[in-house]
Amino acid sequence: MRDPIGPVPTPRIRIVRKALVVPATDAAPTAHGVFDRRGTYLPISRVFQSNRQLSPEPQHAPAQDTLAGTYLYGGLARDHFGHFIVESTTRLWALDQIEETPKAIVYTRLPASGKPQFNRRMGAFHKKLCGAVPALILDSPTEVERLILPSQGFGHGRWINGTPEYRTFVKSRFEDIPPQGAEKLYISRAKYTEAGRTVDQEAAIETMMEDAGYHVFQPEKFGIDAQTSAFKAAKLIVGGDGSAFHFAPFVMQQGAKAAVFLRRHRPDVLRLLGKQILAFTGTEPTLIDPRAGTAVEPGAHVTLDIDILRTELTQASFL
């Protein structure tokens, strides 16, 4: 069957004058994008979503605001850490390819979120990537005098490898942060309590890892610089599938190894995280499926067999 999405797009940058940027609405929570001055929708402004589909085209609407000057289009303003990385940072590679510094990165609001949440949760991360170029989240259809519209350089599914331009861009943004921390890191999700976000029997897993000399690390407790230092210092990183393994490959040092185990009935996610880690670090990760019993509904909480996890970590020299 032909893949309707295809591989990550060849990098390109389009300059759109008098662009109309249309945010998503409550009625169509991911339909957003850019129209040219003639009212033609530009498919390059779509985002590859986690449901393996491109975001739908929004309805054309009259501009309610205008922005003078040059801006760079960023897409949806996601305030979830993993989705921010895989959907909202994907066009920022163009900052290294253009001569004129834009006034801001233009994002469109996500109806379930908003500016306060984005700034509180992702503001420091965004500043690390964009420096003095701020984020500007649009709530209504807005005409932009000159819009820099890059293709996505990274994303879900087959786009998880990223383009060379994107990989170079993100790695360069964290070069100034020195490594500091343990050489053996276990990424814990003990902070989470919601069903589907936890790791089965994690207290026992943490004890196993601590006995093997690992430092138990909860990334959510630390800012982006501290996370970077910890991941740079680690030579061995182990944890359940999750957002941390979207970020860690950006900053892992050459020769560092990762082992990721399935914590949800989502083997596709585990496979794709493995592809990203390999693409960004050059080192094949160890992927472990420690499920006990038969699979149930996709995404549901996994019952783990710790003996399987221990055996595979030992065989791969993590224990």
- What mean pLDDT comes out for the span 302-308? 91
E strands in 168-263: 184-187, 215-217, 236-240, 257-261
Does 8 reside within a domain?
A: no
Residues 198 and 74 in one domain: no
Q: What is the mean pLDDT of residues 235-262?
A: 97
In this structure, is residue 5 part of a structural domain? no
Domain count, the chain: 2
- The answer to whether 58 and 43 have CB atoms below 8 angstroms apart is no
Q: Does the pLDDT at position 291 exceed 60? A: yes
In a domain, 177, yes or no: no
**With 80 as the cut, is the pLDDT of residue 3 above it?**
no
**What CATH number corresponds to the domain at position 193?**
3.40.50
Domain shared by 31 and 150, yes or no: yes
192 and 305 in a common domain: yes
Whether 293 shows a pLDDT value over 70: the answer reads no
Specify if 189 maps to a domain: yes
Q: Say if residue 154 is in the same domain as residue 21.
A: yes
In a domain, 174, yes or no: no
What the block records as the tokens of 138 is 């649009």
pLDDT in tens, 37-66: 999 999 999 999 887 789 999 999 999 999
What burial letters (b/e) apply to 66-93, b meaning 16+ CB within 10 Å?
Answer: ebeebbbbbbbbbbbbebbbbbbbbbbb
What's the chain's Rg over C-alpha atoms? 20
What integer pLDDT is reported at residue 292 of this predicted model? 76
Same domain, 18 and 145: yes
Give the residue-averaged pLDDT of 212-218. Answer: 98
The DSSP output letter for 158 is G
| In-domain check, residue 235 | yes
User: Please, what is the average pLDDT of the chain?
Assistant: 93
Which residue type sits at 294? T
User: Is pLDDT of 202 > 70?
Assistant: yes
Task: Assess whether pLDDT exceeds 60 at residue 4.
Answer: no
State the pLDDT at residue 91.
98
pLDDT tens per residue across span 7-18: 999 999 999 999
Same structural domain, 225 and 132: no
Say how far residue 68 (Cα) sits from the centre of its chain. Answer: 30
Task: Please tell me whether residues 146 and 225 are part of one structural domain.
Answer: no
Q: For the ranges 114-123, 156-165, 185-194, 297-306, which has the lowest average pLDDT?
A: 297-306
* Pair (134, 256) in one structural domain: no
What is the reported pTM?
0.94
Mean pLDDT in residue range 248-263:
96
> Is 223 contained in some domain?
yes
Asked if 119 and 204 sit in the same domain, the reply is no
Q: What is the Cα–Cα distance from 180 to 256, expressed in whole angstroms? A: 14
Domain housing 225: 184-315
- Model confidence at 1, pLDDT cuts 50, 70, 90, reads very low
- Model confidence at 2, pLDDT cuts 50, 70, 90, reads very low
Is pLDDT above 80 for 114?
Answer: no
Q: Is residue 149 part of a domain?
A: yes
In the chain, what percentage of residues exceed pLDDT 70?
A: 94
Do 284 and 189 lie in a common domain?
Answer: yes
Same domain, 141 and 231: no
- The C-alpha atoms of residue 185 and residue 203 are separated, in whole angstroms, by 15
Residue 14 CB partners (closer than 8 Å, separation 6+): 42, 44, 148, 149, 150
pLDDT top residue among 3 and 57: 57
- What's the rounded mean pLDDT across residues 279-308? 84
Same domain for 194 and 86: no
The residue out of 114, 142, 159 marking a domain boundary is 159
- For residue 170, what pLDDT is reported? 98
Q: What is the pLDDT of residue 265?
A: 84
